[in-house]
Structure 1
Amino acid sequence: MKNGLNIKEVAKLTGLSEHTLRFYEKQQLIKNVSRDENGYRVYSDFDIEWIFFLIKVKNTGMPLNELQQYSELMAEGNSTLPDREKMLLIHRERVENQISDLKHTLTKIDEKLGRYHTLMKELSLKSK
């Protein structure tokens, strides 16, 4: 990569809008993005990796206030590693529960599809 990506390039790469990237900065989720001589944002490899992480944990339901807290802890450095680990362990448990719930739902959907398949087969046999 060159010296960094501009906001349009990062938006395209991450699938987030430029507006969302600015919102994340305003909410202190993305911190210390460099600026070029014209004041335009220049995202580093670290910034982009961080954005992808934010997308993943946000998509698993981590609330905005927890994302902000985690981001603040990250900005404070390695002394906050135990706190960040605790946050991620708690969130990991929530994600495991979501996965379990989704697997249960998938089983119910499969059962319903099986019933439909059986009924359609019975109906097609009776109509012949």
Structure 2
Amino acid sequence: MKGGFSIKEVAKLTGLSEHTLRFYEKQQLIKNISRDENGYRIYSDFDIEWIHFLIKVKNTGMPLNELQKYSELMAQGNPTLPEREKMLLQHRKRVENEISDLEITLTKIDEKLDRYHHLMQELNLL
């Protein structure tokens, strides 16, 4: 497709379904998607980068309302950089805390596995 990507191509590039891409657009997470003369969506390289970013922050637990707010700020351009930075710094802190909690949990799991291993050795179950 000249000058952009079809929704089918973007679905393949991002791993999202066409339905999800339409949902993201309806939820105002993806904005200003161009249309061709037949009304079909035409995604730009920027749109694809943006979708990849959305996937990443969504996968780290950013709530839908925050994703929508961030998307709206993005659409407003550079004057919103300080507010976007603040949002990402807050989200980064939440992700850091979650990683810390997961590391603690992983340590507890490892301790339990070590205990099982020693018990199985004592019981000749290995």
TM range (shorter): over 0.9
Q: Which residue of 2 aligns with 1:69?
A: 69
Q: Please, what is the CA RMSD of the aligned residues?
A: 1.5
Q: Counterpart of 2:124 in 1: which secondary structure?
A: helix
How much does 1:84 deviate? 0.3
What amino acid maps onto 1:73 in structure 2?
A: L
List, as ranges, runs of 4+ consecutive aligned residues in structure 1 with deviation greater than 4 Å.
none
Runs of 5+ consecutive residues of structure 2 not aligned to the other structure = none
TM-score normalised to structure 2 length? 0.95
Q: Which residue of 2 aligns with 1:54?
A: 54
What amino acid maps onto 2:100 in structure 1?
A: S
Distance in 1 of aligned mates of 2:106 and 2:2: 44
How much does 1:2 deviate? 5.1
Q: Count residues in correspondence.
A: 126
How much does 1:9 deviate? 1.1
Percent identical among aligned pairs is 84
Q: Which residue of 1 aligns with 2:92?
A: 92
Distance in 1 of aligned mates of 2:67 and 2:101: 23
Once the two structures are superposed, residues 26-84 of structure 1 have per-residue CA deviations (whole angstroms, 9 ceiling, x without a partner) of 01000011111211111110000000000000011100000000000010010000000
Q: Which residue of 1 aligns with 2:24?
A: 24
